[in-house]
Chain A
Amino acid sequence: AQSVTQLGSHVSVSEGALVLLRCNYSSSVPPYLFWYVQYPNQGLQLLLKYTSAATLVKGINGFEAEFKKSETSFHLTKPSAHMSDAAEYFCAVSGGSGNTGKLIFGQGTTLQVKP
């Protein structure tokens, strides 16, 4: 069975500081991994996805994530936080048995950016 664990339900950083949101996955098959962001009262917006083409994945708004198979991790980073980055972030995995797009999400991490 697949699962995703996001370490830290709340992360607080100062504007201009490094953002690091942690995600670990469990999968018996090669995973496809996604990071989504959710702003208040909105749906989910894709930040980036990993599909085995490259271990370092660049996404929108300056975010990137590195796939580390040995650590079963897919942490999200951004060199310099902006106030507009304050939102909830979700890591997700797909690729279970069968041809399915079913996403399994982590519990989410709320990012607070302090001025």
Chain B
Amino acid sequence: KAGVTQTPRYLIKTRGQQVTLSCSPISGHRSVSWYQQTPGQGLQFLFEYFSETQRNKGNFPGRFSGRQFSNSRSEMNVSTLELGDSALYLCASSSFLGSSETQYFGPGTRLLVL
């Protein structure tokens, strides 16, 4: 099976712009989660989706949003970009929603905000 894919892999934006990142989960997986990775804050949970519904949300401002489509693909959007949004954004998929489920990660999208 193909792994989790994320597009684009690299992105450069300027402050104030918005950005949309895409994630295609492993075939058959129905749950998708997003994480932000920065040198200072480490890996932080953004949100998770299952069956097109957001099931859980991390402690991020409302500028961060996401959605999941009927084919389980997911997108996340960041509006009004700030310098501090520069990070590696990781998507992970799992078969179902649950604490014991293994999450498989994609290669990430590296976002640089200038």
Q: Which residue numbers of A lie inside 8 Å of B, CB to CB? A: 32, 34, 36, 41-46, 49, 51, 90, 92, 94-96, 98-108
User: Chain A contact residues: over half helix, strand or loop, or mixed?
Assistant: loop
Q: A44 with B105: in contact, given A98-B56, A103-B45 (CB under 8 Å)? A: yes
Q: Which residue of B lies closest to A45 (CB)?
A: B105
Question: Does A96 contact B99, Cβ atoms closer than 8 Å?
Answer: yes
A100 to B53, CA, bound (A): 13
- Find B105's partner among A43, A49, A104, A106 (CB 8 Å cutoff): A43
B97 to chain A, nearest CB (A): 6
In the complex, chain A residues whose CB is within 8 Å of the CB of B4: 43
Question: Does A101 contact B97, Cβ atoms closer than 8 Å?
Answer: yes
User: Chain B contact residues: over half helix, strand or loop, or mixed?
Assistant: strand
In the complex, chain B residues whose CB is within 8 Å of the CB of A96: 99
> Residue B106 at the A interface, CB < 8 A?
yes
Question: Does A43 contact B107, Cβ atoms closer than 8 Å?
Answer: yes
Question: Does A42 contact B107, Cβ atoms closer than 8 Å?
Answer: yes
A43 to B90, CA, bound (A): 7
Question: Does A104 contact B45, Cβ atoms closer than 8 Å?
Answer: yes
A68 to chain B, nearest CB (A): 19
In the complex, chain B residues whose CB is within 8 Å of the CB of A101: 31, 33, 48, 94, 97-99, 101, 103
A92 to B102, CA, bound (A): 11
